[in-house]
Structure 1
Amino acid sequence: MLRYGQCKLANILYACDLARRYPNITTVSVHRGVIATGLVGKLSPLNKRLVYLTNLGRVKSVADGTWNQRWAATQEKAKIVNGAYCEPFAILEKHDKESKSEKLAEELWEWTQKELE
């Protein structure tokens, strides 16, 4: 779960930094929500209960988990905030301390460029 969280933070940082570096490309980071996938299904019974209890009524099917991406992909460009982070459904969220970190974004950018070489 720690690596999953780091991956999600990297998605937010990269989208935000991409929007800053290339403002003509509209970029958003989209959170699908809590989806009943194998990631949750393969958790230990205790962790699975914890996920479901802390997200009562918010766990979505895989099909319903695509709505936020569909919204972002089909929304008019003028209605999208470049570099935004969107929670389900089409809710713009404020960045927290880590996801606003220009230092982390720069480190991620440099690491990504190096890996792509």
Structure 2
Amino acid sequence: MIKRGIFQGDSLSLLLFWLTIDPFSKILNYLNTGYDLNKSRGGKDNERVNHLFFMHDLKLYADLEEKLEELVRIFHRFSSYICMEFGLDNCAKITMNIRKKVTLEGIEV
């Protein structure tokens, strides 16, 4: 009986992670929120990104700080629902304004 989860290096770790996190990705894709990629490129179409996954990492993106906080709240509710803990000590936040750094929290540069 598994009482604590699986080590990150285990061969099943990534598969189980994706099976549990895929519904969250679908929820985020359903929302019409995030950072408009065409705004910075000068395009007309609404092409938004609000999250990216890479292996065991999640990046959340928003054009306003309030919307980013909303995405974090949604993620927190979802992770509580599936009883999954995330290493908040590895979390960081950066705020940019017209390609200039405004605030930097939790990132060592």
TM-score interval w.r.t. the shorter chain? under 0.3
When the two structures are superposed, what TM-score results if normalisation uses the length of structure 1?
A: 0.25
When the two structures are superposed, what TM-score results if normalisation uses the length of structure 2?
A: 0.27
